[in-house]
């Protein structure tokens, strides 16, 4: 970082601040100085009483006590106005200098007046008193070099001159020389103390400057962090909005393609084109889901809410979603250990299994996929086995990297290369969020097994879910079934109508909740078999409003409410709790026709 340019006027302001701080420090030490002065005055008056001429001793004592009293009054006045402005404090500093210099001169005068008035012991006592006062001044005045030198000179130089000029003492020159050395040593002591004090003051000032700079940088860092969080949130919202808008036409394309397949069953060329369209829609749906998942995880938008998870319930949902896909590939999808219960976030655990099962089916062309849950050392081992192409040892260390796709000694078919390579990266991140150990073993040409270790959970006896219902019929017919569709997107609504009618259903389609209510008011005689509604509807209404209108007209039959499927183009809504509360299943656009077919069959079977 380049040095900051000096600011005009900064140095004088700093010097003024230092002067005021020094004054405050000196004033804080004034009581000690006054106490020492008073003791020294009393000792001199006591020692030289009856020895020195009475008038001289009285005059010096009176003037010294008067000067001491003025200093005390000066200090008390400062205490009464310690918060005065800078000009007043500067004036007090000047008057303080004058008073200190006056007392120093009085001590110098005492050495001149009283030297030789008594015995040599009296002279030695006078030297000790005066020099003790000089030693104390090192601590008090070293921060003010000029004041310190002036004080020492006023106190010791008269003593040195008086001793040197006293011819009555045979060793007066030697004693004067010793006093000169003491004078020089005292000056060096003051200089050394002053240097150390200034370094300490400079260090404290530098520390305060660094602390202020750190506070500024921390504030800037905090501001940058908030800006980054806002940008991350904006990016997440953008992905959500973009996903919703882009999923709508994809959803419509898939529906129209499947409806076209139903109408041209006898034309294999058109059927092949329809299959290609559906595969492209499926691939785009997978790309959207992976990108949105990885974005939510990396931006901290995923919250872990652990709870008890019945594996049978989870396996039923996975079977509903993946069994048609496995059937079309001619492989077996099996589930074992549904009687177990795990302690984990049910939504995140299902997301992990969906990615693992999807990968397993994609890379398996012969054999099958097994999802198992078994007790192990007081916990559960949840495993996804496949008999697919396997993963080379060189690729195992990178399978959880973003955008990395497994390489193999075998040539990969086009459906193996689908996706962005984010599925296992999502699995790794989600398992890390839940702090669940994840491991993998694989042999090229034999298959792969992913293992997730989970804590066990317990349910009350008899609370286990029932076994999975009947398998989803692949050849679905909806003859005689009435399905109500509420969808505001015209293309999607038309695609649903065409597809459902191709499957033999009777369809009543509406674009708003208001139009649905108008139809309900005509009291149609036939009870709908299923409600298929979009989540976001015009006029700030939702699919929950449409579902409430239908269920109010046709209450629960045989203990079961009207079956419902809600479809949304946003995967950021967090509708899982609403689905449980309002008894519906949620599908994310674009919905492949085979998934819609399986979900409709599942809902009608539940009825």
Q: Is it the case that residue 239 has pLDDT exceeding 70? A: no
The phi, psi pair for 534, rounded to 5°, reads: -80, 155
Q: Which of 72-76, 342-346, 369-373, 504-508 has the lowest mean pLDDT?
A: 72-76
Phi-psi region of 467 (alpha: psi -120 to 50; beta: other; left: phi over 0): beta
Quick one: average pLDDT of 427-432?
A: 87
Residues in the chain: 607
**This prediction's pTM:** 0.43
Q: What is the pLDDT at residue 19?
A: 58
Give the span between the Cα atoms of 39 and 395, in whole angstroms: 89
Instruction: Count other C-beta atoms under 10 Å from residue 209's C-beta.
Output: 10
For 245-301+469-607, which CATH superfamily applies?
A: Response regulator (3.40.50.2300)
In a 10 Å sphere around its CB, with 0-12 CB exposed, 13-18 middle and 19+ buried, how is residue 172 labelled?
middle
Which of 5-14, 235-244, 256-265, 339-348 is modeled with the greatest confidence?
Answer: 339-348
Q: Which residues contact 579 (CB under 8 A, 6 or more apart)?
A: 566, 585, 586
H helices present in 264-336, as ranges:
268-298, 311-329
- pLDDT interval class at 461 (50, 70, 90): very low
Residues 161-185 have pLDDT tens digits of 888 887 777 777 888 888 888 888 8
Q: Is it the case that residue 516 has pLDDT exceeding 60? A: yes
Residues 356-402 have pLDDT tens digits of 998 899 889 888 999 999 998 889 999 999 998 888 888 887 888 76
CB 315, CB 276: distance < 8 Å: no
- pLDDT interval class at 15 (50, 70, 90): low
Quick one: average pLDDT of 306-334?
A: 87
DSSP 509-575: EESSHHHHHHHHHT--SSPPSEEEEESEETTTEEHHHHHHHHHHHS--BTTBPPPEEEEES-S-S--
Q: What is the pLDDT at residue 244?
A: 60
CB 135, CB 185: distance < 8 Å: no
Quick one: average pLDDT of 519-544?
A: 86
Residues 244-271 have pLDDT tens digits of 666 667 667 777 777 776 676 666 777 6
Between 3.50.50.60, 3.40.50.720, 3.40.50.10860, 3.30.565.10, what CATH number should domain 305-459 receive? 3.30.565.10
Q: What is the pLDDT at residue 369?
A: 93
- pLDDT interval class at 85 (50, 70, 90): low
Locate the domains of the chain by residue range. Answer: 10-169, 245-301+469-607, 305-459
Q: Which of 198-202, 220-224, 465-469, 490-494 has the lowest mean pLDDT?
A: 465-469
CB 328, CB 279: distance < 8 Å: no
Residue 461 DSSP label: T
């Amino acid at each position: 970082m380049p040095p900051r340019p000096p600011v005009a006027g900064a140095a004088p302001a700093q010097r003024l601040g230092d002067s005021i701080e020094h004054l405050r420090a000196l004033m804080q030490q004034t009581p000690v100085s006054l106490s020492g002065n008073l003791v020294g005055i009393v000792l001199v008056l006591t020692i030289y009483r009856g020895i020195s001429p009475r008038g001289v001793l009285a005059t010096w004592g009176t003037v010294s006590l008067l000067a001491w009293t003025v200093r005390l009054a000066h200090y008390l006045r400062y205490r009464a106005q310690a918060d005065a402005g800078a000009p007043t404090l500067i004036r007090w500093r000047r008057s303080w200098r004058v008073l200190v210099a006056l007392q120093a001169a009085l001590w110098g005068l005492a050495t001149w007046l009283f030297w030789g008035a008594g015995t040599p012991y009296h002279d030695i006592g006078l030297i000790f008193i005066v020099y003790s006062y000089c030693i104390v001044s090192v601590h008090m005045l070293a921060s003010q070099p000029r004041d310190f030198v002036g004080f020492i000179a006023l106190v010791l130089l008269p003593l040195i001159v008086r001793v040197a000029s006293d011819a009555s003492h045979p060793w007066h020159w030697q004693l004067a020389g010793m006093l000169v050395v003491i004078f020089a040593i005292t000056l060096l002591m003051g200089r050394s103390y002053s240097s150390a004090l200034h370094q300490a003051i400079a260090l404290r000032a530098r520390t305060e400057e660094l602390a202020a700079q750190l506070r500024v940088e921390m504030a800037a860092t905090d501001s940058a962090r908030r800006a980054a969080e806002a940008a991350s949130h904006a990016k997440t919202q953008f992905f959500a909005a973009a996903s919703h808008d882009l999923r709508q036409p994809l959803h419509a394309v898939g529906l129209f393609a499947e409806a076209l397949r139903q109408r041209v069953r006898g034309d294999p060329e058109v059927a092949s084109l329809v299959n290609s369209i559906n595969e492209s829609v499926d691939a785009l749906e997978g790309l959207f889901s992976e990108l949105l998942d990885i974005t939510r995880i990396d931006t901290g938008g995923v919250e872990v809410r652990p709870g008890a998870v019945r594996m049978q319930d989870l396996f039923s949902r996975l079977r509903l979603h993946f069994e048609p896909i496995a059937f079309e590939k001619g492989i077996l999808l099996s589930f074992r250990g549904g009687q177990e219960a795990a302690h984990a976030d049910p939504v995140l655990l299902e997301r992990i299994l969906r990615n693992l099962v999807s990968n397993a089916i994609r890379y398996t062309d012969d054999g099958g996929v097994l999802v198992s849950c078994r007790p192990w050392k007081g916990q559960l081992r949840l495993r996804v086995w496949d008999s697919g192409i396997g993963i080379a040892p060189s690729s195992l260390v990178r399978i959880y990297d973003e955008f990395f796709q497994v390489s193999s000694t075998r040539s990969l078919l086009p459906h193996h290369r689908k996706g962005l390579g984010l599925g296992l990266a999502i699995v790794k991140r989600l398992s890390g969020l839940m702090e669940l150990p994840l491991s993998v073993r694989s042999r090229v040409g034999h298959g792969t097994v992913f293992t997730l270790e989970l804590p066990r959970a317990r349910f009350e006896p008899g609370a286990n879910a029932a076994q999975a219902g009947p398998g989803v019929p692949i050849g679905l017919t909806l003859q005689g079934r009435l399905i109500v569709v509420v969808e505001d997107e015209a293309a999607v609504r038309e695609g649903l109508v065409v597809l459902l009618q191709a499957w033999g259903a009777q369809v009543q389609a509406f674009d708003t909740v208001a139009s649905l209510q108008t139809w309900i008011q005509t009291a149609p005689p036939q009870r709908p078999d299923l409600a298929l509604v979009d989540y976001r509807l015009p006029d700030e209404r939702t699919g929950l409003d449409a579902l409430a209108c239908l269920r109010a007209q046709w209450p629960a039959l045989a203990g079961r409410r009207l079956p419902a499927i809600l479809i949304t183009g946003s995967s950021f809504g967090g509708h899982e709790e609403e689905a449980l509360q309002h008894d519906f299943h949620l599908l994310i656009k674009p919905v492949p026709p085979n998934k819609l077919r399986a979900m409709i069959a599942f809902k009608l079977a539940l009825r």
